[in-house]
Structure 1
Amino acid sequence: MTSPLPRLSPRALALVVLLFSACVLGLAPILVRLTETGPAAAGFWRFAFALPLLTILARRELGGVATPSKWALLAGLFFALDLSFWHYGIVMTSVANATVLCNLTPVVVTLFGWFVLKETPHRLFLVAVALAMGGAFAMAAGADGGQGTNPLLGDLFSLSVAVWYSGYFLAVKAARATAGAMRITFWATLLGAPLLLLVALGLGEDILPATVAGWGACVAMGIMHVFGQGGVAWALGRLPASVTAVTILIQPVVAGLLGWLVFGETLTPIQAVGGALVLAAVVLAQRSAQTKTGAGNAPAPAS
């Protein structure tokens, strides 16, 4: 008889879900370019098509949709700002640059935890953050400067997203102490949708896709949002925010490969080295967290 497959520990399962979610979110910059709408409008449709499925999933959780906490609403505000700036960055610079620069979140999250929450990071984790940032900058610096409509401004927009995404991470982490992942993602999405629509209308963007293919990209973004962002929110209830922020940097590696395959964007040797550094950083971040857990500092998982 064949022996049964070993069961994953709660932490290992959370890591698997996080890695899968990060890979799913790597589709985002590709789909944004295929929506045939303005950048903020693409974010609106992402939220709009995600809401029906999120409503069903949130109702199935303990307590249902219920009333949102202030942290869930704050997460929605930060995420609307995140998508507004990031989607413009995607149009103005390369897929790899936009995805990498906006994911400098580990630095902000780690510094916040260190100086505000007084959570001293493990030395190995600091090495992981340094490797991740080195890999991120290598991927950005190694990209073909001619990609996008305004590479410099696009890079600046994408860089600013690190602040908004960090705020989203920390707000979701706080909200997960009392609520399920899908409820938080539902309320953050419900708040973010009208904000993104107002931005799109205010900037005079094209709101409606021109073809069936454009609508298909919008629907795909909604599905991606549920499984990608919902998975990240679920993992944040079981993993430290700082470790999650480093691990999700697999997203730009996936996005860079897809940009090369779909749009023919150049993937230079320097970018390949940067991607390898990011992957090494993810491994080190996980090892540092396991070392700290072994010392008796493991965080209690949220429900």
Structure 2
Amino acid sequence: MHRGRAVVVLMVGACIIGFSPILVRLTQTGPAAAAFWRLATALPLLALVARRTNGGVGQPSGLALVAGLMFALDLGFWHYGIKYTSVANATVLSNLTPVVVTAFAWIFLKQRPRPLFVMAVAVAVGGAWLMASQRAGAPGLDPPLGDALSATTALWYALYMLAIGAARRRESTSRLMFWSGMVGAPLVLAAALLLGERITPLGASGWAACIGLGLVHVAGQGSIAWAMGRLPTPTASVVVLVQPVVSAALGWALFGEVMGPLQALGGAVALSGVVLAQQASGKKRELT
């Protein structure tokens, strides 16, 4: 029952995070600056939650610092990917994390995945690639560059998830997210300044989008971090593939980034991989 609740929370968190690329487009700032506002606006709320649930933010652990560095790289690469390619492509390619996570666990942790779980990853990733390969609608300013940046994001996000998964065995969600944000915020702000980005939004709607990013970060990423304390990292990395489907639908509704038949099929295949992964890990442990 606890595992089922964790899966539900994880999927809800992934759906909430699906709003992130839409809000990034609406911040009226540079890509790295949008990442800064996402973390900076979330920090006060995270500090309040940590105070109410754990007596304060405490001291940062080494894993929290690593998670902050990886998340800063993740946001920086992903937000620039959103700038140059479509919302669907940026989100799908950045969520090819299961390949990296499963390979890392297999090679370095000697955790051999079950054949059915490997097949689930292949199905989910295949659906993701099918979505990304179809360039219906408005593809973006420089799709090849955006796609490359988004694909690289999968590496940083995989390392972030591995750090979070390990840290959640000893730390609370709010403390871990607070300190990872404290590390990541100045890094992405420095990147924005070095790249000559616009730092502050132009108007009220831009500020609203920045605040919205912070709320999405607390609710969405917080749900994911909480669930990862109760689920194996490879399983969690597959479940979050529901995020691209949400982002693609919002990109179509708000920015006219039309999803063609093959993109829609790719979304359905990706979700099928998610379901198959849960069946594979529900029978026994997915790593033996």
TM tier, smaller: over 0.9
Name 1:161's counterpart in structure 2.
Answer: 153
Per the alignment, residue 253 of structure 2 pairs with 261
- Check whether the contact 2:15–2:246 (CA below 8 A) recurs between aligned residues: yes
The CA distance in 2 between the partners of 1:68 and 1:292, in whole Å, is 35
> Within 5 Å, which residues of 2 pair with 1:176-191?
176-191=168-183
Q: Report the Cα distance in structure 1 between the residues aligned to 2:234 and 2:135, rounded to whole angstroms.
A: 27
Out of 194, 203, 210, the residue aligned to residue 202 of structure 2 is 210
- 1:114 is matched with 106
Residue 12 (structure 2) aligns with: 20
2:28 is aligned with 1:70: no
Match of residue 162 from structure 2: 170
Q: Distance in 2 between matches of 1:191 and 1:201?
A: 17
- Alpha-carbon shift at residue 123 of structure 1 (Å): 1.2
After TM superposition, the score normalised by the length of structure 1 is 0.93
Equivalent AA in structure 1 for residue 254 of structure 2? V
CA distance in 1, matches of 2:220, 2:44: 16
Q: 1:10 aligns with which of 2, 18, 23?
A: 2
* Counterpart among 215, 222, 229 of residue 230 in structure 1: 222
Q: Separation in 2 of the partners of 1:193 and 1:280?
A: 36
| 8 Å contact kept, 1:134–1:274 | yes
- The amino acid across from 2:258 in the alignment is T
TM-superposition CA deviations, 1:62-84 (whole Å, max 9, x none): 35311111001100000000000
For residues 240-255 of structure 1, the aligned pairs below 5 Å read 240-255=232-247
Q: Does 1:144 align with 2:136?
A: yes
Q: 1:168, 1:61 → 2: CA distance? A: 24
The match for 2:28 is 36
One-letter code aligned to 2:39? F
Partner SS state of residue 171, structure 2: coil
SS for the counterpart of 1:207 is coil
| Count of matched residue positions in the alignment of Structure 1 and Structure 2 | 288
Give the equivalent residue in structure 2 for 1:51. Answer: 43
Consecutive unaligned residues of structure 1, counting only runs of 5 or more, are: 1-8, 299-303
Quote the offset at 1:61 in angstroms. 2.8
Q: In 1, are the aligned partners of 2:137 and 2:257 still within 8 Å (CA)?
A: no
Q: Displacement of 1:205 after TM fit?
A: 0.2
Write out per-residue CA displacement over residues 151-195 of structure 1, whole angstroms, 9 at most, x where no aligned residue.
100000001001100110000011111101111111101110100
CA contact (8 A) 1:260 1:266 kept: yes
Distance 2:140 2:203 in 1: 23
Counterparts of 1:100 and 1:63, CA distance in 2: 38
How far apart, in 2, do the equivalents of 1:252 and 1:29 lie?
Answer: 10
Identity value in percent? 56
Q: TM-score, normalised by structure 2?
A: 0.98
* Corresponding position: 1:133 with 2:125: yes
Q: 1:52 corresponds to which letter in structure 2?
A: P
- Distance in 1, matches of 2:176 and 2:219, equals 13
For the residues of structure 2 that align with 1:124 and 1:64, how far apart are their CA atoms? 43
Give, in whole Å, the separation in 2 of the partners of 1:269 and 1:145.
12
Whole-Å Cα distance in 2 between the matches of residues 166 and 178 of structure 1?
Answer: 20
Give SS of 2:271's match: helix
Native 8 Å contact 2:137 2:259 kept in 1: no
**How far apart are the structure 2 equivalents of 1:224 and 1:146?**
25
Does the 8 Å CA contact 1:96/1:143 hold for their aligned counterparts? Answer: no
From 182, 189, 198, give the equivalent of 2:190: 198
| C-alpha displacement of 1:143 | 2.6
Structure 2 residues without counterparts, runs of 5 or longer = none
Q: How far apart are the structure 2 equivalents of 1:285 and 1:141?
A: 23
User: In structure 2, the residue corresponding to 1:56 is in which secondary structure?
Assistant: helix
